[in-house]
Structure 1
Amino acid sequence: MDLGIPPALDQSLWTLLIAILANLTLCSSSRISRFFSRPMVLAGRMINMIERRYNHPSVNEGARRVDSISVAVFLLIFGFLCGLGLSLLLQQIPFGWIIDAMLIAAVLGLRPMLERMRLITRSLESSLEEGRATITLITGRDTANLDKNGLSAAAIESIAMGFSQGFIAPLLWYALGGLPALFAFKLIDTASIMIDERSDHARSFGFALRYSSAVFLAPAIFLSLPFLFLGSLITKGAGLARGLHMACARKRYAWPTFSLSVALFSGFLGTRLGGPVCIGSYQRTGDIFGEDMPSPSISTINQAHKLAARSA
């Protein structure tokens, strides 16, 4: 039956569907996952090399910001051209779209995110110290002064950010621009994460990458809204009205790009999130979402896990 779907879009939808299924079934620590994630491993090494080359504490801030802009432009162009070249190559290969789907699966963060949340839950159930060490390893936060409620909030906020950043955004940019757009997004997003905020010179060197990543992520965060709304309808205990109320509250998260995502999870789960976030020696300020709501617990992490999985 002809549904009136253009052939190119029809193939893209099938590619995305297979990519999601492959991510859920293969993209953990298997050999297949490691093989198809090789391009992003190489990209990470390139980003490290660029930072070592240009991000020196001795360089003045003005020159460092100019370097930041030039690095962001270079990564955008490099990612786009790599994706374009690979896309043209795969078009010449029989069933090349299957390889296309596996490459997308390798950069999706859905299964890794769900696995990390299960690991955090187990570590918190084991002991407070183990929970702190696990969350620090996964999120990069300084958790020395956090209790179980604070650690639970950090885990849920990580899910809220990861749903749009690691799952919706790659699918969106592939749907809009194929592998060129996907690779450009992943290079910029990976670089913005790798160039951390543990020193002043790292913050100034990474400013163009952070802003570029925010531009890529903004439409994905808005696109995640209907999926989270639908997911809340089939997740026990999730409150749709609370989520809508928190989405309209205009609170500012420590990473402002993700304010809407954190607000939705706070409202849907009926729990307090947000506040200041410490990364190394640098503390980011942020509003508290749901000040009159109860603090999160391990059971709230499980609920957030279900909400993300069902929305996905």
Structure 2
Amino acid sequence: MIFWLVPAAFALDLLLGDPRSLPHPVVWIGRLIRRLEAALEERPKNRRLAGVILAAATLAVVFASAWGALALAGRLGEALAGALALWLAYTTLALRSLHSESRAVVTLVEEGRLDEARLALSFIVSRDTAALDREGILRACIETVAENTSDGVVAPLCYLFAGGPVGALLYKGASTLDSMVGYRNERYRDFGWASARLDDLLNLVPARLTALCMVLAALLLRLDAGRALRTVRRDARKHHSPNAGFPEAAVAGALGIRLGGPAVYFGTPVDKPALGDDLAPVTPEHYRQTVALMYLASLLTLAGGVLLTWCLRHNPCI
């Protein structure tokens, strides 16, 4: 099933994006996390243990729900099981929505509506956006597209190929946990520790694969693939995250711009390390090149996964 399922889910995401009128498993996962968090916060004596319980309980419910739904659908009919598997797989990908949401911000910047652009940006990044200038808004857009190419597209593709819809939904569960409680502030430093570390672990391979695909995409797009590779090797590990620096450094190198630098998160200044070389001011064209890198890197991941799956099907000893 996986051989046809993943390309079909990818195509469906490109066609439909993320319609807000349809039910979405990630939204349900978020609601589950909030309810479990509220229940566990009433027992504050061991915050780190409570965070471990939160992560374990969330993933257990996600696994049981996804596996149970697919098993039940399988009993009712193969067509129903296939349709459900396709829908679940499709909901784990965020390629088109990442493009459309970031493009809306850049369009506002190009129209000179910076206050509206800052507000729109605040819905897709975790940093404070109120004080960002034009270039800061564009830089934040490029960074989030680069990072989320890994988190929102390449990693889900990897887990779809490895574990089908259930595996990808478990990954999305861990990613949602990290986005909701995996912060280093006073409230979540201990409570979100397990969620943050789990997300780091699950993204170790996808982040590096994303950087490699970005370099190959830069070569195909006639950008500076050599500088992209050098920048990844030089700067990727400077990032505070063990993973986010890899796709961001690849994009910075390919485009000849500098990403990172000082930012504000939840009112606290953070001196993020600089990635790349400041060879040119950041412009909307750099954003469009980043989007092209995102699409091509995603397609390369899909093609590689399909090829590997085909090889394993026909040569099981590999």
CA contact (8 A) 1:117 1:305 kept: no
The within-5 A match list for 1:242-261 is 242-251=227-236, 252-261=238-247
In 1: Cα distance, 2:257 partner to 2:170 partner? 35
Aligned position for 1:274: 260
Aligned position for 1:27: 17
Write the deviation string for residues 230-260 of structure 1: whole angstroms up to 9, x where unpaired.
3213325x21001110111044224332111
CA contact (8 A) 1:81 1:180 kept: no
95, 104, 107: which one aligns with 2:89:
104
Alignment length (residue pairs): 294
In 1: Cα distance, 2:244 partner to 2:131 partner? 23
2, 7, 29: which one aligns with 1:17:
7
More displaced 10-residue stretch of structure 1: 250-259 or 41-50: 250-259
271, 293, 308: which one aligns with 1:307:
293
Amino acid at match of 1:220: P
Gaps of 5+ in 2: 299-318
Amino acid at match of 2:195: L
79, 94, 100: which one aligns with 2:78:
94
In 1: Cα distance, 2:295 partner to 2:134 partner? 23
Aligned position for 1:190: 176
Does residue 1:206 correspond to 2:192, yes or no? Answer: yes
Write the deviation string for residues 70-112 of structure 1: whole angstroms up to 9, x where unpaired.
1112222222222322332343322222321221112211111
The within-5 A match list for 1:96-175 is 96-126=81-111, 127-175=113-161
TM-score, scaled to structure 2: 0.85
Write the deviation string for residues 157-177 of structure 1: whole angstroms up to 9, x where unpaired.
101111010011111112112
Aligned position for 1:74: 57
Does residue 1:41 correspond to 2:27, yes or no? Answer: yes
CA contact (8 A) 1:135 1:141 kept: no
Aligned position for 2:301: none
Q: Judging changes above 3 Å, is the alpha-carbon distance between structure 1 residues 74 and 283 closer, same or farther for their aligned structure 2 residues?
A: farther
Aligned position for 1:59: 44
Q: Judging changes above 3 Å, is the alpha-carbon distance between structure 1 residues 112 and 46 closer, same or farther for their aligned structure 2 residues?
A: same
The structural deviation recorded for 1:30 is: 6.3
More displaced 10-residue stretch of structure 1: 189-198 or 104-113: 189-198
Q: CA RMSD in A?
A: 2.1
Q: Percent identity?
A: 24
In 2: Cα distance, 1:291 partner to 1:25 partner? 36
TM-score, scaled to structure 1: 0.87
Aligned position for 1:225: 211
Q: Judging changes above 3 Å, is the alpha-carbon distance between structure 1 residues 59 and 28 closer, same or farther for their aligned structure 2 residues?
A: closer
The structural deviation recorded for 1:292 is: 3.7
In 1: Cα distance, 2:234 partner to 2:168 partner? 32
Aligned position for 2:67: 84
Amino acid at match of 1:111: R
In 1: Cα distance, 2:150 partner to 2:7 partner? 17
Q: Judging changes above 3 Å, is the alpha-carbon distance between structure 1 residues 180 and 118 closer, same or farther for their aligned structure 2 residues?
A: same
Amino acid at match of 1:75: T
The structural deviation recorded for 1:196 is: 6.0
Amino acid at match of 1:94: E
In 1: Cα distance, 2:54 partner to 2:168 partner? 18
Q: Judging changes above 3 Å, is the alpha-carbon distance between structure 1 residues 297 and 102 closer, same or farther for their aligned structure 2 residues?
A: same
In 2: Cα distance, 1:196 partner to 1:206 partner? 4
CA contact (8 A) 2:58 2:173 kept: yes
SS at match of 2:203: helix
Gaps of 5+ in 1: 1-10
